Amino acid sequence: MQAWSSRPVPSLPQSPAAPPLQAFDTATQQVVPIGPNTGSARMYVCGITPYDATHIGHANTYVAFDLVHRVWRDRGLEVNYVQNVTDIDDPLLERAADLGVDWAALAEEETQLYREDMAALNVLPPQHYVGAVESMPLIVDLIEQLRQRQAVYPVDDSDFEDLYFAQASDAEFGSLSQLSEEEAVAIFAERGGDPDRAGKKAPLDCLVWRHARTGEPSWPSVLGAGRPGWHIECTAIALDRLGVGFDVQAGGSDLIFPHHEMCAAQGRVATDQPFAQAYLHSGMVGLDGEKMSKSKGNLVFVSSLRASGVDPMAIRLALLAHHYRDDWDWTDELLISGQDRLDRWREAVRLDAGLNADEVLATMRAALAHDLDAPAALAAVDAWAGASVAIDSDDAESPALVARACDALLGVAL
């Protein structure tokens, strides 16, 4: 699929003292080094299911991992970043049926809106933007590999034969989310799983291939005509575009279980190697105390804010004012303070001279390298901007350097 295009990333003076990226890995529950020190770094971020417009929660997640992309680039790493589009799955078919529209047209329309939102928010595009539909051969191949390893079995439900991944085939299953069986089963049922389906070997076994049903789209394959389950899509796309043991799989914390647990398990069973080296998860954004989600309908859309004249950079600053791992609620006040901050920064970088910027650059780099601490990076720019407006300095280079640093490291174009 076509991704989107972004503003060029300004270059910054390199500093050998800049610390390498560390972040909190859900699997080990520790802050660990993320990516190599030199060469190329590989990241997979789970993309949208395009049945509705990008909301602030989505935007927060993609802006969070855009920081990984930016920090890696700033370290001189070459980045191979892959993002998928779940352009076939139950929620998309259900929404299309409710709206009385074609599911593929709905997916295309919402994906296009998402691209526009990402470009407006100055989120760097992935190198590979990959849909499930265009990945059918990869997905089918991976299921075949799992079947040869006895990790996939059929479940007969009258006329249909659906294929399931057996969690028991992976000795490390559960190590990412570390939930009790009871918790896992409850969450699985909430997030698209079918723990009670008759004929399964274990409640947490997940669907990998759904045999064609009348009235549903399906693709012919050696497995029989059908369509893929959710998790196998990301496992297949990640392994194909990034290879085994890539640096990071990322997404919102609602993906820890079952999604990332299943991907990790399927990847390990298929390759006998770790799937990703680390798993990063952003917090959930809510509205009035409830997680923002399409199913609850409590959504603030990026496109609606943009249409009402909100500067996307103010939205970005409102998001970056929170640590990416925190859960928080969206409010109109956040947008107002994002806009205020943007105005103050713009005023400061338009000065002819300001305080020396080397220190602010070093602080921004250190903050982001330490578990993507965007609020600390913002505080450094706030302090610089406040002091620059107040004093009369002869450091003519500094406003331009701070503007470049905000753009390159935080994605905030001033």
Nearest-CB residue for Zn ion: 46
Beta bridge partners of 278: 248
Site string for ligand 5CA, 75-94 (x = CB under 6 A): ---------x-x--------
Nearest approach, Cβ of residue 1 and ligand 5CA (Å): 14
**What single-letter DSSP state applies at residue 34?**
-
User: According to CB under 5 A, which one of 1, 23, 34, 46 is a site residue for Zn ion?
Assistant: 46
By C-beta, is 113 or 234 nearer to Zn ion? 234
| 3 state DSSP class of 136 | helix
Q: Does 128 bind ligand 5CA (CB under 6 A)?
A: no
Joined together, the tokens standing for residue 175 give 């190590």
395 in Cβ contact with 356 (< 8 Å): yes
Q: Does 277 bind ligand 5CA (CB under 6 A)?
A: no
Beta bridge partners of 108: none
Phi-psi region of 47 (alpha: psi -120 to 50; beta: other; left: phi over 0): beta
User: According to CB under 6 A, which one of 285, 342, 369, 372 is a site residue for ligand 5CA?
Assistant: 285
Q: Does 252 bind ligand 5CA (CB under 6 A)?
A: yes
Binding site partner of 258, from ligand 5CA, Zn ion, none, Cβ cut-off 5-8 A by kind:
none
User: According to CB under 5 A, which one of 107, 155, 207, 234 is a site residue for Zn ion?
Assistant: 234
Joined together, the tokens standing for residue 303 give 């496109």
Residue 152's Cβ-side half-sphere holds a number of Cα atoms within 13 Å equal to 26
Contact region with ligand 5CA (CB under 6 A), list: 20-28, 267-275, 287-295, 387-395: 287-295
| Residue matched to tokens 């196998």 | 232
Please give the C-alpha separations between residue 286 and each of 44, 95, 259, 283, in angstroms, as whole numbers: 24, 22, 21, 10
User: According to CB under 6 A, which one of 293, 298, 337, 356 is a site residue for ligand 5CA?
Assistant: 293
Q: How many CB atoms within 10 Å of residue 20? A: 15
Residues within the interface to ligand 5CA (CB under 6 A): 46-49, 57-58, 60-61, 84, 86, 234, 251-252, 254-255, 282, 284-285, 291-293
